[in-house]
Chains A and B, each alone.
Chain A
Amino acid sequence: MSELTPALLWLIPVAPLLASIFIAFFGKALLRGRSHVPCVTALAISTLCAGSLMLMFLAAPSQLKPDPNTNSLHQRPSEHALQPVLTTPGYAWAETADLNVRLDLQMDAMTAIMLCMVTFVSLLVSIYASGYMHGDPGYPRFFAAFALFVFSMCMLVLADNYLTMFIFWEGVGLCSYLLIGFWFQKPSAAAAARKAFVVNRVGDFGFILGVFLIWKTFGTVRFADVFELIPHVAETNPGIFTTICLLLFLGAMGKSAQFPLHVWLPDAMEGPTPVSALIHAATMVTAGVYMVARSTPLFVMSPTAQMVVSGIGAITALLAALTALTQYDLKRVLAYSTVSQLGYMFMALGAASVSPKLATFAVTAAMFHLFTHAFFKALLFLGAGSVMHSMGNVIDMRRFSGLRDVMPHTRITFLIGSLTLAGCPLLSGFWSKDEILVALFEGTKAGGHETFFMVILGVAVLTAFLTAFYSFRAYNMTFLGEERFPEEAHHPHESPPTMTLPLFVLAGFSLVIGLFLGPTGVYARQLAQSTSLPGHGDHPHNILLMALSAAIFCGGYGLARWMYVKSPAVSAGLERGLKPLHRLSLNKFFLDELFNYLLVIPVKVLALLCTLFDKYLLDGLLNFAGSIPSTIGRIVRPIQNGLVSHYAWVMLLGVVLFLIQMLRALAG
């Protein structure tokens, strides 16, 4: 088995890459309507490889003990002696005097979990997309970019150093750009794609500077080496950790859409719905959470940075949930919900600052929520896509309602997704959300920042309530009420099996995965094997908090039912009554406008000033310098006017002067 593992590990990213290249070159000429075949096949291979490696990890970590004959498994010498890391050599990417970057793969428990989730969800989404994108002229292009995304995402989580991680971090950004702008004829899609890339670049600016600082401080960018050197650096330069962590977190804010860099994600819904489901809900946007979780040893060194992480997470979660309350675009509701849930994960990550003992639990809570969220959010997005497919690409919830009879499959799966997102007891979202609440609750008891975490916990509870409310608002507005269709929907119908099958699979996972992995502690034990985590992640559940979150769920559900099903007049009345607040929420707190006036316009003005500076000042100076010779020429030109009499006079003058001088000399 151990001889096979490097091949399996490489196969996970390489299979989608090959598929992508193949589709890119032959898709248009050869494959056309069958372009999904290589992609789906490759993803199935990746899923199988990831799954089998995961099973190896699950079976018994002790079986993966280092084999003295091969280097494929190696053991970390520090306190995590029992935690196996699977590394596979690749090639040296760049070597200079002090910078050595190798493209090697590394797999530990955290990577394995991410890989399983990424490959499995993308497999389902690709099957769904083969139905959803059917007949689109850009069909091959879609699957080429899709497979390339899976490749980049796998490499991102398989990276064994910060620089490789950054490389593929931007790689997934590129795929996101290409897929958001998939329908490039639509100006809004083109603009959203550019916005996503540029806003992400702002985050990446911080990330790369963080990597530079890590390199300068530690002399290496490999995770294992960096984490090992932390005690040394902590002695000589403890202040540096806050800077490093904040810079890294800026990167995470960009990719994981945290306030104020979250503005790109709702716009990214311009892309095809499968893309929204996979990239902008399930996988890519969680890369920031993964990166911060991966860097836990660094973040543990800086409570300040972790409080910032928590704080930003809380602001984002609340703000996004408030915005989601009033959106009419179903996909946008889900997008804001994604932003909000990502904020939730960051809140938990920040709680690692409470105590080293709690650090692993807090990170586990975040990673667990990431895991469950991937399933139920992909499910919700695919459900929304199914609605859109049927409604002739209309997604405004005001224009249709009562779809429960037309789309029974979509309805039942969407309902499961909503229940999970809202935190219905026993479903997966409930368990992972509960863990986060427990982690935050621990923060209110100890760690020296009790008040801070009190506020954070309050925000988390409020957000949970809002989440329950808006999930059912969306469900109720779409599937309940009187049956209405927009005129674009020529024949409303249930989606084909290629689309509903993934929905059912995802719904199944959303239902049970939390119960199987959460309270049993399987997930936590598995994740604790990761090299990035100190200690164990087990923590008893808190019955009180569980009851609280169950109550919150019921409250949110009941309110939504009352307002949108029982007496719809209430919601309309409330809308009128709280007009300013409603407008604030509907317009996303005017953040886009704020960005425009505070950032975009000033930069554009500055750019204009630069060209004016060039044109008038620099060129003016240049023209002035250039005019000097001709000016001198103009001044002396009259002397040479070509009149012989003039010259004769001057000559005479010269002769006279000469004579005078000579006479004076003779006299002297």
Chain B
Amino acid sequence: MLLLSIIVLPLLAAILLALLGGGRAVARWVALLTAIGTLLVSLGIASQLKVARDGHRTNTTDRPVDGPVQPRLEWRRTWMTLGNIAQKPAQLTDFEFDADSGDPSDVVDGSERIRTGDTRKALLHRMGFVNGDERVQLNDTQLAELRDAGIVRREASVRLEFYLGADGISVLMLALTAILTISAVLISWESIQDRAAEFYLCLLLLEAGMLGAFVAFDLILFYVFFEFTLIPLFFLVGIWGGAQRQFAAYRFFIYTLAGSVITLLGLVALVLKVMETGLTATPFSIPDIAAALKEHPLSDQWQIGLLLALSAGFVIKVPLFPFHTWLPLAHTEAPTAGSVLLAGILLKLGCYGFLRICLPILPAAVAGFGVPIYATMAVIGIVYGALGALAQSDIKKLVAYSSVSHLGFCMLGMFALNSEGITGAVMQMVNHGLSTGALFLLVGMVYDRYHTRELSELGGLATRLPLLSVCMVFICMASAGLPGLNGFVGELLALIGMFKANPIYAAIGATGVVLGAWYLLDMLRRAFFGPLKEPASVHGPILDINMREALSVVPLMALCLWIGVFPKPLLDTIEEDVRAVVKMYPPSAPAKSEFADAKQTTQETLISVDRRE
């Protein structure tokens, strides 16, 4: 129930705002209270999860408990059932001959060579199941036999569900979303003057969308939320953004949408493929698909095709090199709150998609085909993003490029395909959310004061804004991966995981750590140290960080320190669920051979069925 309420709460508040409107004062308080409420709900989910971990799994299906995706909390409601095989006697019309999943080459059946589909028809004929076009009653044993042989599939009997869940990975992302939304509301408190009610409406809608994507364990639901986030962000950038806001909004909207459409195609293909096999009655449920395909993997070609299609949206969202060019523009034009949520949460949806969908469902393709491609892209992204950041003179753009670099670490860890790497990747997702979120907040504070983010116009701000500078140095250190702060934990695990899998990638990736220190400290040196330099146009007193601003950024700093010093609780939470995914990728025998074995078994069964005649 909490799972549902975490989405409904911000949605309701958004609807309230839309209906009642209200002034700036009302709107921002509504938004703040809602954000705090969602944080509490997410903490509630976390505590339930802790209870659930101690043996009380709320498993509502007969799915084996060792599937690669295992929500520890579930909330699922069927809202439509298409076809229902259980109540009707089994008739041949309920089955179709499977022409796809078998061997595409011709099958030798006695002396005659017949096309695959025909073979099976003839086979059934000879087995006495079919006489001409007659309908024949099959008993359950026969049915199971045929299904095991891969000859028949169940006709579409599909439950459409509203399937929410949470595990250790998603619960962290939920909490992160809630925390960053609070910060986003606080930082917009004064700076958003126009159409405040609409602004907070969009912010809450965005939060609902992001939370929804993290609790969705249903493919369609996930996709809907994944895409839905674009709409409020489009308005946030397009209405409350900087000078080039409309161009930026259109570009990022269309670019990410184009990718997502391909992802949608992949999802549809995946669902149809799963329906064909008839292995599960809930072909939209990610855990069920993953568990089913673990036993009966798809063919190599299908997996690769699906991986390419599914990842199209994800690589753009992450963004992996070379699909990152929308990001700096969107960041520079977005209002501070938009940047915080965009960098902090939205980008993670890409990584999360990889982790939730691609890794558990398409192991053969990921291990054989995906690793060289995505890991290379990730490594290039790390170095390229860092170099890009080094060349920027706009602080916000610098931070945007640093995101490209940091998310490269996420993907690098993820495609290490071992426990350390993936745990590190999830950790890095959280860390990047905290530290880059905080960086954007601080840059926003500087911008609110000086209306510029150009490094050439600023200098020595530490003299004028000592507390803000302390925060800035702290967060830069966290972002540069200083041990004792959060960034180090994620980068260390991601790199060490990759080092185990492939030292070359890790070594190149580690240069990103050197460059990371370079560009961040260079930014600090130019903007915050040296003699004071302020833009001439500034009038009035420039005050140091105030209470409201401190409230938005200090909790993030505290979390950075806590994670850096005591990472174990978080790592344990993550790793338990990562381990299930990692099981798909045994280090000695790659998933591909598993797949080959499975295929062979199917054929053997077929032959044995054949002989029974």
Residues on A lying within 8 angstroms of B by beta carbon are 91-99, 163, 166-168, 170-171, 174, 177-178, 181, 184-187, 189-191, 193-194, 197-198, 201-202, 204-205, 208-209, 212-213, 215-216, 603-604, 606-608, 610-611, 614, 618-619, 622, 626
Contacts and interface: CB of A to CB of B under 8 A. Distances in A.
A606 B389 CA distance: 11
B506 interface: yes
Given A96-B575, A99-B496, A170-B482, A185 B391 contact: no
A162 to B, nearest CB: 12
Contacts of A91: 566, 568
A577 B255 CA distance: 69
Interface stretch (B520-528, B540-548, B598-606): B520-528
Contact of A96 (B390, B423, B503, B514): B423
Contact of A611 (B391, B507, B513, B531): B391
Interface in B554-608: 566-568, 571-572, 575, 579, 582
Interface string B486-510: 0011001101100110010011001
7 contacts: A95-B572, A97-B420, A97-B579, A99-B496, A185-B529, A201-B513, A209-B499
A212 B509 CA distance: 13
A98 B390 contact: no
Contact of B483 (A170, A202, A611): A170
A166 B575 CA distance: 23
B255 A622 contact: yes
Given A97-B575, A174-B482, A178-B473, 10 more contacts: A96-B423, A97-B579, A99-B496, A184-B528, A190-B525, A208-B513, A209-B499, A216-B500, A603-B390, A611-B392
A95 B568 contact: yes
A197 B388 contact: no
A603 B530 CA distance: 24
Contacts of A608: 391
Q: Which of B255, B390, B572 has the most CB of A within 10 A?
A: B390
A376 B10 CA distance: 66
A443 B473 CA distance: 48
- Pairs of residues from A and B, 10 with the lowest C-beta to C-beta distance, nearest first: A190-B529, A97-B419, A167-B483, A607-B391, A184-B529, A607-B390, A607-B387, A212-B499, A194-B521, A187-B530
B531 A185 contact: yes
B496 A215 contact: yes
Contact of B493 (A99, A177, A213, A614): A99
B484 A619 contact: no
B482 A205 contact: no
Contact of A185 (B254, B463, B473): B463
Q: Which of A94, A171, A194, A208 has the most CB of B within 10 A?
A: A94
B460 interface: yes
B53 to A, nearest CB: 16
A110 B559 CA distance: 36
A185 to B, nearest CB: 6
Contacts of B328: 614
B465 interface: no
Given A205-B513, A212-B499, A608-B391, A187 B531 contact: yes
Contact of A618 (B325, B506, B514): B325
A174 B473 CA distance: 11
Q: Which of B322, B507, B521 has the most CB of A within 10 A?
A: B521
A40 B387 CA distance: 43
B477 A174 contact: yes
B420 A99 contact: yes
A610 B579 contact: no
Given A184-B529, A185-B463, A197 B521 contact: yes
Given A201-B513, A205-B511, A604-B391, A92 B568 contact: yes
Contacts of A193: 521, 525, 529
Interface in B360-395: 384, 387-388, 390-392
Nearest to A194: B521
B482 to A, nearest CB: 6
Contacts of A185: 460, 462-463, 529-532
A619 B325 contact: yes
Nearest to A95: B568
A91 B569 CA distance: 12
A424 B495 CA distance: 50
A165 to B, nearest CB: 10
Contact of A98 (B387, B420, B531): B420
A189 B524 CA distance: 13
Contacts of B403: none
The secondary structure that dominates the A interface is helix
Contacts of A94: 489, 493, 567-568, 571
Contacts of A174: 477, 482
Nearest to B521: A194
B517 interface: yes
Contacts of B514: 198, 201-202, 204-205
Contacts of B572: 95
B387 A606 contact: yes
A603 B500 contact: no
Contacts of A186: 530
B496 A212 contact: yes
Contacts of B482: 170-171, 174
B323 to A, nearest CB: 8
Contacts of A189: 529
Q: Which of A163, A171, A184 has the most CB of B within 10 A?
A: A184
Nearest to B483: A167
B418 interface: yes
B529 A181 contact: yes
B322 A618 contact: yes
A610 B388 contact: yes
Contacts of A204: 513-514
A607 B513 contact: no
A609 to B, nearest CB: 8
A405 B463 CA distance: 40
Contacts of A98: 419-420, 500
Nearest to A188: B530
B388 A611 contact: yes
B370 to A, nearest CB: 21
A208 B524 CA distance: 25
Nearest to B574: A96
A194 B513 contact: no
Contacts of A163: 492
Q: Which of B473, B567, B568 has the most CB of A within 10 A?
A: B568
Contacts of B525: 190-191, 193-194
Contacts of A209: 499, 503, 506-507, 510
Nearest to A189: B529
Contacts of A190: 525, 529-530
A216 B499 CA distance: 8
B563 to A, nearest CB: 11
Nearest to B386: A607
B526 to A, nearest CB: 9
Contacts of A191: 525
A600 to B, nearest CB: 9
B555 to A, nearest CB: 17
A619 B325 CA distance: 7
Q: Which of B462, B482, B511, B522 has the most CB of A within 10 A?
A: B482
B420 A194 contact: no
A603 B420 contact: no
Q: Which of B387, B484, B489, B572 has the most CB of A within 10 A?
A: B387
B95 interface: no
Contacts of B575: 95-97
A209 B390 CA distance: 24
A646 to B, nearest CB: 33
B399 to A, nearest CB: 15
Given A184-B528, A208-B510, A614 B387 contact: no
A167 B495 CA distance: 15
A610 B531 contact: no
Contacts of A187: 529-531
B518 interface: yes
